[in-house]
Amino acid sequence: MEINQNMEQLIHYFETIPSLHRSAILVGGLTFFWILEGSLPLFTFGYNKWKHAFPNLFFTFTTIIINFSLAFLLLSSADWVVVHDFGILNWFPEMPFWLYVTLGVLLMDFVGAYLPHYTEHKVPPLWMVHLVHHSDHKVDTTTANRHHPLESVIRYVFTLAGVFVIGAPIGIVMLYQSLSLVATQFSHANIKLPKKLDYILSFVLVSPDMHKIHHHYQLPYTDANYGNIFSIWDRLLGTYIYMDRERIVYGIDTFPNEAENSNLKHLLKQPFQSYRKPTTDTVGKAL
């Protein structure tokens, strides 16, 4: 089948994707959505965009360093599961290749993104690490990679676990990571799609409005819409919620100081502060 041949070519490319190409995806996506934000803004922040971006770009850089430093673990693990027919994908050897790839990406999205994200919200010490991401008061495309180095390590561990559980070869892992990168830049971008289009997209993908709800400063919205690429996991597992995007207030209620939450030195120390129990939005409710 032609679709299988196309998939095979795609996976072959991602098996050996050059670092330069991966960097181009990162920079290209960031640049594209950065420009788009100027034309179709959801909120008019009136901020110094470069000043706001500085800590976020710093954390992007630390994530790149961690991922590249540990890349050998991902590569060796992916090779091992293939050689030993280990993991879910290898339970069905007669599966069409297009389905093999699709299922692999879907499961990587669950184990490597949804699951750690959900866990970070439920375990107080991990929440304090993840707090760095939620403490951005002006969410835009640079917020996508605003993760404390500790969180980058945590996410990497879940991705590594996903390789073993799923039995994902390196081609699927690299394809997933590339899709994930663009998807998060898209969902965090300060862009205003037509409401109906955004809502329709949210039945399959994590749309900008869907994820912005997750960045609302109070519960229950903060603890919902955990998805990364696909919205299927939130919808299947009961963690999807909707609210009108005009009601969204960014940041986090228990750490409301915007000046501190914009300061790189403070953000690096943020995970080591005392835990504060989140509060619930008692005025509004999900629609």
Q: Across residues 72-82, what is the average pLDDT?
A: 95
Quote the CA–CA distance of 101 and 117 in Å, as a whole number: 23
Query: What is the per-residue pLDDT across 130-157, written as a single tens digit (0 to 9) for each?
Result: 999 999 999 999 999 999 999 999 999 9
Domain count within the chain:
1
How do residues 154-181 score in pLDDT, each as one tens digit? 999 999 999 999 999 999 999 999 999 9
Share the mean pLDDT of the chain: 94
Residue 61 lies inside a defined structural domain of this protein: yes
Residue-level pLDDT at 1 = 63
Would you say residue 75 lies in a domain? yes
Q: Report if residue 156 sits inside a domain.
A: yes
Q: Is the pLDDT of residue 274 over 70?
A: yes
In-domain check, residue 198: no
Check residue 43 and give its pLDDT.
Answer: 96
Q: pLDDT digit string (tens) for 187-200? A: 999 999 999 999 99
Specify which residues 230 forms β-bridges with. 205
Residue 284 pLDDT grade (very low, low, confident, very high; cuts 50, 70, 90): very low
Residue 234 counted as domain residue: no
Confidence tier at 282 by pLDDT (50, 70, 90): low
pLDDT for 285:
45
Q: Which residues pair with 216 in a beta bridge?
A: 250
Instruction: Please determine, for residue 287, whether its predicted confidence score (pLDDT) is greater than 60.
Output: no
- Give the mean pLDDT of 54-62: 97
Q: Give 201-250 pLDDT, tens digit per residue.
A: 999 999 999 999 999 999 999 999 999 999 999 999 999 999 999 999 99
**Per the domain annotation, does 78 fall within a domain?**
yes
Residue 262 placed within a domain: no
Containing structural domain, residue 147: 2-193
pTM over 0.95: no
Q: What is the pLDDT of residue 233?
A: 97
The reply to whether 250 falls in a domain is no
